[in-house]
Amino acid sequence: MSPETGEHLAKAREYLTKARGLLDVLHYNDEAGRAAYLAGFHAAQAYYCEAGGMTITRRSQPTLCDVLNREVDST
């Protein structure tokens, strides 16, 4: 696993933990949803990095979605 992939996975875990806390403790559904979305984004970014892709920023999120859709369509 590359260091960049590890960083994205760590960020995904961090956001997932944050989402659980926001939902379970504070009952902030909207904020928990945003944190869970970011966890998924970073997990997808880690997958893409490990597959040899370039780094995708939040601004280029549609690009990441396109790449993942192509991956799903090809299976």
**Per-residue pLDDT tens digits for 20-61:** 999 998 889 999 999 999 999 899 888 888 877 666 666 655
CB within 8 A of 33, min separation 6: which ones? Answer: 19
- Provide the 10 A C-beta neighbour count for residue 74: 6
pLDDT-based confidence at residue 18 (cuts at 50, 70, 90): very high
Residue 33 structure tokens: 């949803």
The answer on pLDDT for 65 being more than 70 is no
pTM, entire model: 0.71
Q: Are 15 and 5 in contact (CB under 8 A)?
A: no
pLDDT of residue 17: 96
What is the domain count for the chain?
1
Residues of the domain holding 9: 3-73
